[in-house]
Amino acid sequence: MSNLNRREWIYWMVALILSAVISHGEDPWTARKWTVDGVTRVALISKPQVAGNTAAPLVFAFHGHGGSMKNATRMFPIRELWPEAIVVYMQGLNTPGRLTDPEGKKSGWQSSAGDQGDRDLKFFDAVLVSMKKENRIDDRRIYSTGHSNGGGFTYLLWAMRGDVFAAVAPSASAASRSRGLLKPKPVLHIAGESDPLVKYEWQKATIKAVRVLNGCGEGEAWELDPLCTIYPSVNGNPVVTAIHPGNHSFPRQAPDVIVKFFKSQVKPE
């Protein structure tokens, strides 16, 4: 995903127009609460803008450390890019960070299985049960994405709840602690070559590991976005990389790439 600025102006003009249209309608988000181990947890949910007779894809999008579910709705504007999908933006709790905020004064997600009593994995389980109970969900099209700590939690979900997902798309994160628990799964990894927080070398090691796990061959330009690289898989679990020259920030073009990737991946029957 180098030279991303080539499409930046067009992408953001379209996004601004869509946002303006939506802003004149009703609030597109529904706030929900769950009680998990006696703690109130919350999320924002977006339902399809047009009711249909087919089962809907379900996308989970996770904010980074210090972020919020509201911030995630802006970071991952999946509603505008994939109006047929149900999108869930869960809110993290105050969490000690492994790289920053050791006192845990900011919101985030557990980094490893067993952390904080698996509170966030339990929260995910509760939300997934509700979504399936209340909506017609396509079980073959459930996805997770997240940035930074949210990307790390996406890797943890892949490790601990992998059978749920058709594909995942972590950004600016690594899977050093959960790597050994992963099973083959299509993945899009977004990384900045100048990331000062989650070092690019760490992310490259994760990418290399999942390429081996997924039985991938040599990389080539991805037909859905030539600025990305796809590593075809002998077992149907490709790895796509979106490498940009930036830092730890989430690239503005990334949501478009994520949605293209998710649309291309359906879990086998």
Task: Give the integer Cα–Cα distance in Å for 32 and 124.
Answer: 13
In the prediction, which pLDDT does 103 show? 84
In the prediction, which pLDDT does 28 show? 78
* Rg of the chain on CA atoms, in Å: 17
In the prediction, which pLDDT does 13 show? 44
In the prediction, which pLDDT does 53 show? 77
In the prediction, which pLDDT does 52 show? 66
Percentages (nearest 5) of helix, strand, coil residues in the chain = 35, 25, 40
Of 104, 187, 203, residue with least CA distance to 148: 203
Complete domains list, the chain, with CATH: 28-264 (3.40.50.1820)
> Do residues 160 and 181 lie in contact, with contact meaning Cβ atoms separated by under 8 Å?
yes
235 contact partners, CB below 8 Å, separation of at least 6? 184, 214, 215
Query: How would you label 74-86 residue by residue, b for 16+ Cβ within 10 Å and e otherwise?
Result: ebbbbbbbbeebb
pLDDT along the chain (269 residues), means of 10: 46 43 57 96 90 87 96 95 96 87 88 94 98 95 97 97 98 91 97 96 97 97 96 97 96 96 96
In the prediction, which pLDDT does 177 show? 83
